Amino acid sequence: MTPVKICGITRADDAMLAADLGASWVGFVFWPSSPRFVTPDTAATILAGLPPHVSGVGVFVNQPVADVAETAARVGLGAVQLHGDEGEAEYGAIGHRVIKALRLGPDATPAAADGLWPRATLLLDAFDAVRMGGTGRQVDWTVASAIARGRRTMLSGGLRADNVAEAVARVTPYAVDVSSGVEREPGIKDHVLLRSFFTAVRSVVRPVDSTGGAQP
């Protein structure tokens, strides 16, 4: 199965169901302006209750590198996801795996990924001038596919149970990331939608991944 990240987790029961369904990662948003914001203490408590195969990812937006590092250590995150204009020189030595978001606008081309954080996993999401993620907007899968052929890529942006199988088949990303597509309101996951999403992902037969398991 294509690895799955369930982002915007705020509740322990949502995280546990995601783990039971086969999620490789759960994402916690530490950007205070997000409707899915959680405190490090809340995230640490939720993560501590999950099985060891599930890793925590922290989402940050232009936050001081010292704060990102401290939160990552405090929560026990496996990776940090940077959604702003962070520079690799400043954040690259943070001591955790990095997922760098690339927000694709309607006129984006595959060249948008050229030279961008070459050692990081790229997360492709839809551009919004205000919201840094969880918009429910779909990215151009043709552009995403071209990027995914050359980089380890996580696909996000408007994924739902009714389109994720097609997205995986067309883009062949390393992993998929979903937040709003499995919610009944921001930060509150719909368990029926979660189950349907995983069923759809499992329906896609894809080539064997030779990259060595679910490491972002």
Give the residue numbers annotated as catalytic, written as ranges.
7, 125
CB 40 within 8 A of CB 30: yes
DSSP class of residue 112 equals G
| Distance (Å) of CA 118 to CA 79, 88, 143 | 16, 9, 18
DSSP class of residue 37 equals B
Which residues are 153's β-sheet partners?
A: 122
| Distance (Å) of CA 179 to CA 69, 85, 173, 201 | 24, 21, 17, 15
Which residues are 176's β-sheet partners?
A: 4, 155
Place of tokens 């204009």: 85
Where would I find the H helices in the chain? Answer: 12-21, 40-48, 65-75, 88-91, 141-148, 164-171, 191-202
Torsion of CA 44, 50, 52, 56, to 10 degrees: -50
